Structure 1
Amino acid sequence: MSGRVLLIDDIAANRAMIRAKLASAYYDVLTADTAEEAVDIVRTDHPSVVLIDIMMPTVDAFDLCRRLKSDPQTALTPIIMMTSVEDGPDRIRALEAGADDFLVKPIHELALFARVRNLMRMKFVIDELQLRAETTRELGLEPDETTLTNIDLTPAHSVLIVPPDRETGTRWSALIRDNLSVQTLIAIDEQEVARRVADDIPDAFLIHETPQHGGGLRSDGLRIISTIARRQPTRHSAILMAMADVNMRQAAKGLDLGAWDYLVAPHDPTEMTVRLRTQLRRKLYSDRLRSNLRDGLRMAAIDPLTGLYNRRYADHHLKNMLAQAEAEGTDLAVLILDLDRFKTLNDRYGHEAGDRVLHQVARRLQENVRGVDVVVRLGGEEFCVALPGADRAGAMEVAERIRVAVSGTAYDIGQGRTVRCSMSIGVAVAQRGEDTVESLMRQADLALYRAKDAGRDCIRTAWDAEAPPTA
């Protein structure tokens, strides 16, 4: 995942070293020497992550962090504080100021990359939800105003603890209830986690990497994290992983499997509650954005047959997506998709059968894209999928996955009958600063025509060497 990182460090050698590490992973690195310059860059260049060195004589790093987190324009930008000394009080102070993490120099490469990658991924999701909320405003709908700072934790919210043993679980449970005023539950192994989740979905999980199983055996905390993060009922819940020791490789693996944050042993009680509070607020904020979005879009921007976004919504939202991609220096891919010979299906089986197929196609499209991707029914049997952050290779991978999903299984059209359908797909990726939504859609549309001319059930791209079809 490409993106911008803002580095604030007054020592040139430090900047050069960290810039080189990040550049090797293809991140764009911006730098700032003063607090004012840093605030201006965050507001105008929208970096995906900010790295701030604590030990700067000219900048109060904690004050800068508080400024960024208290400003609605910059509050959701992830911040990592860096220091050359492992200092518990400084780490707590950084987290209480709003920092999302704390790294000790010399920076461990695995920890740096895992943290940046994870925080970018989380910001990407929230940015997309905010962008969709902005589109609803432009459509004349006013969602409730929600910010991270007005999220209050109550006993209606819950944390499921998967501890290393029951004694520790009881201690963590009391600590969290007393400091966060939320409900706590304990599950000692994977089976108990599954039972608890079946009863009610917790807002957050606190999972030790080696929870105790029956008979003194150990479960695999990483497997529990992976299961929670990928399953539909729990995939929006916050996950905090408690490490058994300082193992950056294990921490990086946990983040990549779906943990939102991690806590290194020995588990400081204050740090645990601060990190949990941050992740719970982030989760609840995302929930409110989704709820506002559903309520508003249900009225004006949803296609009633398929449940997908409609053309009216797409016209507004794609402009916002393209502007954001240009501002952040990321890619935006667009797929135009059309069911092959759909008129023949309608003529032979009737429009009710055709509607059943369209409904099922919409489900298959949604099942084969990410949550941040936007799936639209443009009209009739034509669809559009917008993929923020996807380059040419990524767009082609998604297009092929969709093509196979659409044609792979027959469609139920009622009365014991089934039909098969295929789909032709045109792909275009925005050239930064050069494309408009209209030109991007036109490029994808022309590529779709080439797919039809090539025999259908295939993919063509805007960068194909073939010439556009003639009338």
Structure 2
Amino acid sequence: MSGRILLVDDIAANRVMIRTKLASAYYDVLVAETAEDVHRLVRAEQPSVVLINVTMPTLDAFGLCRDLKSSWDTALTPIVMMTSVDDAEDRLRALEVGADDFLVKPIHDLALFARVRNLMRMKFVTDELQLRAETTRELGLDSAPAGIDDIVLTPAHSVLIAAPDHLNGAAWAKAIRGKLAVQVDFVTSEKGMANRIAADVPDAFVVHQTLADSGDGLRLISTIARRQPTRHSALLFLVSDNDMSTAAKALDLGAWDYVMPPHDLTELAVRLRSQLRRKLYSDMLRTNLRDGLRLAAIDPLTGLYNRRYADHHLVNMLTQARSEGSDLALLTLDLDRFKSVNDSYGHDAGDEVLRQVARRLQETVRGVDVVVRLGGEEFCVALPGTSRKGALQVAERIRRAIADQKFEIGTRDPIVCTGSFGVAVSIAGADNVQQLLTAADRALYKAKAGGRDRIATAWDD
């Protein structure tokens, strides 16, 4: 994940202070003082987050934010606006022109770092989806979605509120419905939320810190963010204790945004609109990718990407890693003695094992990771922004996911299956695709020779 941040401020003392804070957390900080420099650096350096000082006499901060958010190639770049005055009108104006957050100086370190981490994580996911869309276009498939500004909210879109009580839930639902023209409903407990999700997954959640029946809003957002049916829904957290550490914890648990008390309903609606549009844009990318790739780049047995797609997409992933100075890890996996499964149980059973392996792979890795069936019983997983240590941890999770649970194949006895793994990491995208694949394959052969059901790494050589 890129750690590049663009700081826009015309006061040297401010730049030094904020730059020092960010550098202490190992972020790479770029500096700009004019709108021209900002536009040039955003396009050339592709920062993960832009921080803009509101009170600059030589630059219209709100106009700059609006320009960046209205341009197709910078619209999804996260922007945080900073000011010395906690003015509700300025905060709403910033959100209206597209800012992702509004921080008041002196900036709380916890608030700054939590928001930067959160926005980087969200941009990383969107960037990966856009990169996959670019790959499909290069393969001759049309998967270009409309721009995020073209997305219009309608009553077909839904919001579910987890409120502390019936009175607030009804008031918030009415206000959001009136401002955004979307379908809004509410519950007041974790159990009520679980029942509603089981019936229908909304596009967005608004979760208050405290719920009825001793419900815990932080626990609820953690559940929503990690569960497969709800992991792509927009998620806003309403802080009730006015503690910035609570807001920071919510962001780290998976919330997309937060609102501090008192909960201004206009601000809530503006933030919710922004996150809903981001969610729907990501959905469009996923849908277009799925439709465009179904025949040309998807393995029909497992539903994973095929070798043709992987060869092309890895080039794009390495190019992006090189531009960001980030690592790209590649795991190759070969199921051990898989021929004996086909010989003993039949090819239908073998196909079912392959399908289940594909599901376990997808459930074990992140949404930004790319899982591929290379052919036969061989798979690979590309892990952007992942170090050697992180790649080994992922490989071990996958190894256990395959080895520790038998494969059910209907009326026959369950099948025990294991896999051997090769791991290679391109440091800052320095390798080409063939070098990376060859390094991972060599490590895989070493794992096979070492006794199978194990992990070997390219860098041990």
Instruction: Flag whether TM exceeds 0.5 (same fold).
Output: yes
- The question of 1:249 aligning with 2:239 is answered no
Equivalent-residue separation in structure 2 for 1:332 and 1:167 (angstroms): 50
* Aligned-residue CA RMSD (Å): 1.4
Q: Which amino acid aligns with 1:378?
A: L
1:433 and 1:159, CA in 2 relative to 1: closer, same or farther beyond 3 A?
Answer: closer
- Within 5 Å, give how 1:179-198 maps onto structure 2: 179-198=179-198
Q: Shift of residue 428 of structure 1?
A: 1.0
Q: Shift of residue 68 of structure 1?
A: 0.7
- Residue matched to 1:277: 273
Deviation per CA, 1:201-239: give whole Å up to 9, x if none.
1111111111234xxxx4211111111111121111111
Q: Which amino acid aligns with 2:84?
A: S
CA contact (8 A) 1:4 1:329 kept: no
TM-score (norm 2): 0.97
- Within 5 Å, give how 1:285-364 maps onto structure 2: 285-364=281-360
SS at match of 2:146: coil
Q: Which amino acid aligns with 2:343?
A: D
Q: Select the residue among 416, 420, 424 that pairs with 1:428.
A: 424
1:17 and 1:385, CA in 2 relative to 1: closer, same or farther beyond 3 A?
Answer: same
- Within 5 Å, give how 1:34-53 maps onto structure 2: 34-53=34-53
Note the residue ranges of structure 2 that are not aligned, 5 or more in a row.
none
Q: Which amino acid aligns with 1:10?
A: D
Equivalent-residue separation in structure 1 for 2:341 and 2:200 (angstroms): 43
- The question of 1:15 aligning with 2:15 is answered yes
SS at match of 2:215: coil
- The question of 1:261 aligning with 2:257 is answered yes
CA contact (8 A) 2:334 2:377 kept: yes
SS at match of 1:412: coil
Corresponding residue pairs, total = 461
- Residue matched to 1:438: 434
SS at match of 1:432: helix
SS at match of 2:291: helix
Q: Shift of residue 433 of structure 1?
A: 5.0
CA contact (8 A) 1:360 1:411 kept: yes
Q: Which amino acid aligns with 1:459?
A: I
- The question of 1:55 aligning with 2:55 is answered yes
Equivalent-residue separation in structure 1 for 2:186 and 2:73 (angstroms): 38
Q: Shift of residue 352 of structure 1?
A: 2.5
1:265 and 1:424, CA in 2 relative to 1: closer, same or farther beyond 3 A?
Answer: same
Equivalent-residue separation in structure 1 for 2:411 and 2:211 (angstroms): 51
SS at match of 1:66: helix
Note the residue ranges of structure 1 that are not aligned, 5 or more in a row.
467-471
Q: Shift of residue 329 of structure 1?
A: 2.2
Q: Shift of residue 62 of structure 1?
A: 0.7
Q: Which amino acid aligns with 1:221?
A: G
Deviation per CA, 1:318-364: give whole Å up to 9, x if none.
11111111222222111111111222333333322222221111111
Equivalent-residue separation in structure 2 for 1:433 and 1:236 (angstroms): 28
Q: Select the residue among 384, 393, 406 that pairs with 1:410.
A: 406
SS at match of 1:456: coil
Deviation per CA, 1:105-139: give whole Å up to 9, x if none.
11111101110111111111111111111111112
CA contact (8 A) 2:118 2:252 kept: yes
Deviation per CA, 1:404-444: give whole Å up to 9, x if none.
11111222344422322211111111122521111111111
Equivalent-residue separation in structure 2 for 1:449 and 1:202 (angstroms): 46
Q: Select the residue among 385, 389, 394 that pairs with 2:385.
A: 389
1:290 and 1:433, CA in 2 relative to 1: closer, same or farther beyond 3 A?
Answer: closer
Give the % identical residues. 68
CA contact (8 A) 1:245 1:266 kept: no
- Residue matched to 2:172: 172
TM-score (norm 1): 0.95
Equivalent-residue separation in structure 2 for 1:300 and 1:427 (angstroms): 28
Equivalent-residue separation in structure 1 for 2:351 and 2:200 (angstroms): 35
- The question of 1:97 aligning with 2:100 is answered no
1:186 and 1:462, CA in 2 relative to 1: closer, same or farther beyond 3 A?
Answer: same
- Within 5 Å, give how 1:58-73 maps onto structure 2: 58-73=58-73
Equivalent-residue separation in structure 2 for 1:103 and 1:193 (angstroms): 31
SS at match of 2:414: strand
Equivalent-residue separation in structure 1 for 2:362 and 2:212 (angstroms): 38
Equivalent-residue separation in structure 1 for 2:288 and 2:18 (angstroms): 40
Equivalent-residue separation in structure 2 for 1:429 and 1:458 (angstroms): 18
CA contact (8 A) 1:322 1:332 kept: yes
- The question of 1:84 aligning with 2:84 is answered yes
Deviation per CA, 1:282-307: give whole Å up to 9, x if none.
11111111111111111211111111
